[in-house]
Amino acid sequence: MARTEKRWLLLMVGLLTLFMAIVVASTMTSALHPPSNVETIDPVTLHLGGEFAESNLGTAQEPDGSLTARIVADQYAFVPYCVKLAVDTPVKFRLTSVDVVHGFLLPATNVNTMVVPGYVAEVRTRFTRPGVYSMPCNEFCGNGHHGMWARVIVVPKPEFPALAPTERSSCVQQ
Ligand code: CUA
């Protein structure tokens, strides 16, 4: 091995060690956490009860008129596959994963979060116009990642109260 080659190699290994040390040190001193919300949940039992039980998934209207959409991500689907929300209304998304890290992103909005097993991701937004937003899984999660899509349908405000609870969490025409 030529001497210059050896020096470059040493320099590269040195830099890698330095970067790794910075990551480890900042994780320990700055308490790095998943973005958006530090709220833990047991991914093994979340389907058995509580807010992420199957009957609680989808869109719910809060007493103050705001909307909460609860969605569970798993390989390779969002459950429910589609939620309906109203325009000009405060919306809170609450998401969690049962298996690996997924990503939740609504194009042209501020909604973009990782969905990490063991944590509840919470994102608040307000839609300014009706429309159909397709949401791709935004974090590589395995062989079926490219097929992991779902939808958010934003309807005009007066139409929303007329929707039955089952229609709010389904895009099937009824
Ligand atoms: Cu889920 Cu990629």
pLDDT at 36: 58
24-32: which pairs have CB atoms within 8 A and are 24 or more residues apart? none
Measured from the CA of 76, which atom of ligand 1 is nearest? Answer: 1
- Cα of 11 from ligand 1 centre, angstroms: 37
- The Cβ of residue 24 has, within 10 Å, a number of other Cβ atoms equal to 10
The CATH class given to the 54-169 domain equals mainly beta
- Which residue, by CA, sits nearest to atom 1 of ligand 1? 102
Residue 121 contacts residue 36 (beta carbons within 8 Å): yes
Phi first, then psi: give them for residue 93, nearest 5 degrees: -95, 135
What are the tokens at 95? 């998401």
Domain ranges for the chain: 1-33, 54-169
Per-residue pLDDT tens digits of the chain, which is 174 residues long: 789 999 999 999 999 999 999 988 887 877 665 555 778 888 888 888 888 888 888 898 889 989 999 999 999 999 888 999 999 999 999 999 999 999 998 888 888 889 999 999 999 999 998 999 988 898 999 999 999 998 899 999 888 888 877 778 777 654
pLDDT at 33: 54
pLDDT at 11: 96
pTM equals 0.76
